[in-house]
Amino acid sequence: MKKFVNDPKDYVPQMLKGIELANPDTLRYVPEYNLIMRADAPRHDKVSIVQGSGSGHEPAHVMSVGKGMLDGACPGDVFAAPPSDYVYETAKLLASDKGVLLLVNNYTGDKMAFEMAQELAEADGISARTLFIDDDVAVQDSTYTVGRRGVAGNFFVMKAVGAAAEAGADLDEVVRIGEKVNSVTRTLGIALTACTPPAKGAPLFELGDDEIEIGVGIHGEPGRRRAKIMSADAIVDEFLGAVVPDLPYSSGDDVALMINGLGGTPLSELYLLYGIAHEKLAAQGINVRRSYVGEYCTSLEMAGASLTLVKLDDEITKLLEAPAEIAIRVF
């Protein structure tokens, strides 16, 4: 294993410490719960937004904390759900007078941790709700899920509920918006390589030198099928062939298009895929109004990408356009 790491058990804490040190004015690190939180949270004039899930998906979710996005993220270890008491303590610490929304990518471990935390928080009189994200069209049930998995599309849910909360929406309204965005968001992922969790020290699965996994999950879990490596044009056809008919997205629709890197794929390839997808959508009469190219939800250093579509209306567009400030900055 060649990684920048000390003792693998310090991988997550040392990453979190780095995030805090890089954002001294805006973020705080609470080691007891693996928590990265806004320095000004909780703000009692807004609903607090919290997300967890395993580590190894950065910038989701610890680098997505900030004004207009998450108030806090309390991940577990690499590819492991956070313990429910991390989530419970985080909910208690961050809940505002307007309540707290717990966002959960639909994986069984995360679901259990967050539902238990919500119950405990509610028993303490905290107004808490849970919202599950399940944008992955690849498979119905999966290695770690009942129902569909939540993957890179969770960015759009975070962004929309973050903006709504910042604008003062109450908890019911924030939940309504999150469910609405999730309901019009669809993703498919394709892996070119496996990835190596630091504590395991070996690749999570085997993929031949000329093989790709179509519909891969963000922990390397199987998708729809293995295939031989194909051209970028054919890859985009795989993406769109799975995603477009699923909602479906139709001629005349306005959409946001995200090409998300899974960790080991360079920006050049992501923009190449983006351009092809944009034009193929245009040829179907589907109008790309907002573009997202880069890393939003990764699987450590896995080479690969996912494609996400979001059907836009005025309400969603406005929420996606709203300013936000997070750990990942260009300047």
Q: Which is nearer to its own copies, 216 or 276 (CB)?
A: 276
CA distances from 80 to 65, 119, 203, 206 (A): 20, 21, 16, 20
Told to judge if 57 belongs to the known catalytic residues of this protein, a careful annotator would answer yes
The answer to whether the peptide bond before residue 61 is cis (omega within 30 degrees of 0) is yes
Q: Going residue by residue from 267 to 286, which x/- string records binding to its own copies, judged by CB under 8 A?
A: xxxxxxxxxx-xx-------
Q: Is 147 left (phi over 0), alpha (psi -120 to 50) or beta?
A: left
Q: Smallest distance from the beta carbon of 108 to its own copies, in angstroms?
A: 23
Q: Is 294 left (phi over 0), alpha (psi -120 to 50) or beta?
A: left
Told to judge if 44 belongs to the known catalytic residues of this protein, a careful annotator would answer no
Q: Which residues on adjacent β-strands are paired with residue 28?
A: 37
Q: Which is nearer to its own copies, 178 or 263 (CB)?
A: 263
Return the number of other C-beta atoms located less than 10 Å from residue 285's C-beta: 11
Q: Smallest distance from the beta carbon of 38 to its own copies, in angstroms?
A: 16
User: In this structure, what token pair is assigned to residue 288?
Assistant: 């790309």
Binder of its own copies out of 23, 53, 118, 130 (CB under 8 A): 23
Stretch that binds its own copies, among 5-13, 84-92, 122-130, 174-182 (CB under 8 A): 5-13
Residues 6 or more apart in contact with residue 264 via CB below 8 angstroms: 192, 193, 195, 301, 302, 303, 304
Instruction: Establish if 243 lies at the interface with its own copies (CB under 8 A).
Output: no
CA atoms within 13 A on the CB side of 113: 28
Binder of its own copies out of 79, 263, 286, 316 (CB under 8 A): 263
Binder of its own copies out of 115, 167, 264, 287 (CB under 8 A): 264
User: Interface residues for its own copies in 163-182 (CB under 8 A)?
Assistant: none
Q: Smallest distance from the beta carbon of 240 to its own copies, in angstroms?
A: 14
Stretch that binds its own copies, among 42-50, 120-128, 245-253, 318-326 (CB under 8 A): 318-326
User: Interface residues for its own copies in 38-57 (CB under 8 A)?
Assistant: 55-56
CA atoms within 13 A on the CB side of 178: 30
Q: Smallest distance from the beta carbon of 13 to its own copies, in angstroms?
A: 9
- The one-letter amino acid at 168: G
Instruction: Establish if 58 lies at the interface with its own copies (CB under 8 A).
Output: yes
d(CA 290, CA 272): 17
Instruction: Establish if 70 lies at the interface with its own copies (CB under 8 A).
Output: no
- Using an 8 Å Cβ cutoff, are 190 and 235 in contact? yes
Q: Which residues on adjacent β-strands are paired with residue 119?
A: none
Strand order in the sheet with 48-51: 27-30, 35-38, 72-73, 48-51, 100-105, 128-133
Q: Smallest distance from the beta carbon of 116 to its own copies, in angstroms?
A: 26
Instruction: Establish if 206 lies at the interface with its own copies (CB under 8 A).
Output: no
Q: Smallest distance from the beta carbon of 223 to its own copies, in angstroms?
A: 16
Binder of its own copies out of 209, 251, 283, 314 (CB under 8 A): 209
**Count of residues near its own copies by CB under 8 A:** 68
Q: Which of 193, 187, 177 is nearest to 148 (CA)?
A: 187
DSSP-assigned states of every residue in 106-132 = S-HHHHHHHHHHHHHHHHTT--EEEEE
Q: Which is nearer to its own copies, 117 or 257 (CB)?
A: 257
User: In this structure, what token pair is assigned to residue 55?
Assistant: 């580590």
Q: Which residues are catalytic?
A: 57, 219
Applying CB under 8 A, which residues contact its own copies?
1-6, 11, 14-23, 55-56, 58-59, 63, 159, 192-193, 209-210, 212, 229, 231-233, 235, 263-276, 278-279, 288, 291, 293-295, 298, 300-301, 303, 305, 320-321, 323-324, 326, 328-331
